[in-house]
Amino acid sequence: MSETFRFSDPGEGLEEAEVLEIHVGEGDHVNDGDTVLTVETDKAATDIPAPFTGTVETVHPGTGDRVRVDDALITYQPDGEKEEEATADESQDEQATQDQEEDTSSRESEDETQEADSEASKKDDAESAQDESAQEDTGSRQEGETRSNGKHTDRRQPVPAAPSTRRIAREMGVDLHDVEPSGPQGRVTADDVEAAAQGEQGAAARETLSAEQPSRQESSGLPDFSRWGETEREAMRSIRRATAQRMSRSWQEIPHVYHQDVADITALERFRRDYEPSAESNGGKFTMTVLMLKAMVYALKQFPRFNASLDAENEELVLKRYFHIGVAVATDQGLLVPVIRDVDRKNMIELTAELKAIIDKAKAGELAREDMEGGCMTLTNPGPMGGTSLSPLINPPEVAILGMGQARLEPVVHGDLDDYEIKPRLMLPLSLGFDHRANDGADAASFVTTLIGALEDPHSLLLKI
């Protein structure tokens, strides 16, 4: 008997993934542990190993499809299961299935194996509808109209819902069978699907939702933009979608406050230039980002509540005794934040090489899920592209993010009102975004001042790191 390998959660709490690559085809023999698919889960490419040894019969998803937990991935014939071992009845069924004959018993047996999967059984239905027609041509000599509506052989009855609601469910990846209906006579409404997608339970929640928030149907009822000129529609692919979800969560949940200041990095830049060749001895580029990583660790050590996560439910701050810093990288696929581990324990030569390696990996789309997990605080440096002030959003569950603006040579006044001199200095704008639930404005000011102190005096920075 054929068995079905279904998609299961490859990481914590993931519900769906996008199929990037399919490594096997129909008829291929697969050993336990062989990579059969590569999927993109929450921004990372993950290889899915086969949990079986056997021969692939059908690969259900196509490249670019989104698969959800419990969706059928591969139907296969396991090794070591010979036809004779199956009961006569079963083998007959199987034969009938393979021959694609119209046979009620075979159809039922197929339904049993594919019961929980609507996509697969839809295909099954389509096939059996075709079987009917194939037979008809040779058999009853009937015209096309007799390929009658044998589309509903799924044991699970179709869930009553309007075609528009079904479309929304499909787009949101919601199985209608899992949705609690609120409509009359058990009908699933568009709001029910929306609520199910947001994991909301109970009619009260749904009512609030429909009252306060425009439903998906309404929001997709955008004006017809083409009335005002040419437009194009671009699907939100996996990374864009994940960024959108994560950033709206950040925006909605975290009370962001920004503290901005400017650091004089003239001396630091001289230091950077002087030691560029030796710092790059293991490869990479000795950039201001590398120095900033070190300075951040110094400041984080002074202010542990910035190296924290908020457990709102238990009203606790989780303080971290490690120093992993996320670095925002703009790639063709979208924004990725790989994490550099244990920045406190690595020297600048090591960090220079590692930063380059992880940026290359991100740009090649090869980051694994674990490469992007466990950050304490994020550093984003759009400065080279310009900008004097920025308001980056915190990457949850972190509580702070540091943004670097563009360093510029500026006239700086030293001295007092009566006795001063003006010097050209290289000034770097800094913006610290912090979660006001975890820290206050005074904490942020101290954090940034400490950071600037370390940056302005490279010699003391040496002592401090």
Partner 1 sequence: MARKHTSSKLPDSTQLAVIGGGPGGYAAAFEAVKLGLDVTLINDETPVGGVCLLRGCIPSKTLLEVSELIHASESAETMGLRFARPEIDADALRQWKQKVVKTLTDGLEGLCRQRGVRLVRASARLADEQNLTVEGNDVSGTLRFEQAIIASGSRPVALPDVDIAASRRIMDSTDALELEEIPDSLLVIGGGYVGLEMGMVYQSLGSQVTVVEMAERLMPNADADLVEPLARTLASRFKAVHLETQVSGLHETQRQVRVTLEDADGSRDHRFSRVLVAVGRRPNSDGLDLDKAGVHCDDAGFIEVDAQCRTNVSHIHAIGDVTGGMLLAHEAMHQGKVAARAAAGEAAAFDARAVPAVVYTVPQIAWCGLTETQARDEGREIQVLKFPWQAAGRALTLQADDGLTKLIVEPGSGRLLGAGIVGPQAESLIGEAVLAIEMGAVAEDLALTVHPHPTLTETLGEAGELFLGGSTHYG
The binding site for partner 1 (CB under 8 A) comprises 26, 62-64, 66, 99-100, 104, 119, 122-123, 126-127, 129-131, 133-134, 136-137, 140-153, 157-163, 166-167, 170-171, 173, 183, 185-188, 226, 230-233, 235
Which entry of 436, 443, 457, 459 is annotated as an active-site residue?
436
Residue with Cβ nearer partner 1 (101 or 280): 101
From residue 402, alpha-carbon distances to 235, 316, 330 in Å are: 31, 23, 16
User: Residue 102 Cβ, how far from partner 1 at the closest point, in Å?
Assistant: 10
Which entry of 175, 376, 435, 443 is annotated as an active-site residue?
376
Residue with Cβ nearer partner 1 (22 or 357): 22
177 flagged as catalytic: no
User: Residue 210 Cβ, how far from partner 1 at the closest point, in Å?
Assistant: 19
The two tokens of residue 151 are 């589309």
User: Residue 53 Cβ, how far from partner 1 at the closest point, in Å?
Assistant: 23
Pairing of strands 400-404, 377-380: parallel
User: Residue 200 Cβ, how far from partner 1 at the closest point, in Å?
Assistant: 21
Query: Shortest CA distance to 278 belongs to which of 295, 264, 290, 266?
Result: 290
Distance of CA 29 to the CA centre of its chain: 31
Tell me whether residue 394 is exposed, middle or buried, using C-beta atoms within 10 angstroms of its C-beta: 0 to 12, 13 to 18, 19 or more. buried
70 flagged as catalytic: no
User: Residue 167 Cβ, how far from partner 1 at the closest point, in Å?
Assistant: 8
End-to-end CA distance of the chain: 63
Residue with Cβ nearer partner 1 (118 or 431): 118
Query: Shortest CA distance to 400 belongs to which of 344, 345, 374, 439?
Result: 439
Give residue for tokens 């396991």: 78
Q: Is the bond leading into 397 cis (omega within 30 degrees of zero)?
A: yes
Give residue for tokens 């703009």: 330
Distance in angstroms (rounded) separating the CA atoms of residues 87 and 27: 24
Residue with Cβ nearer partner 1 (101 or 350): 101
311 flagged as catalytic: no
Residue with Cβ nearer partner 1 (57 or 457): 57
Enumerate the active-site residues. 376, 436, 440
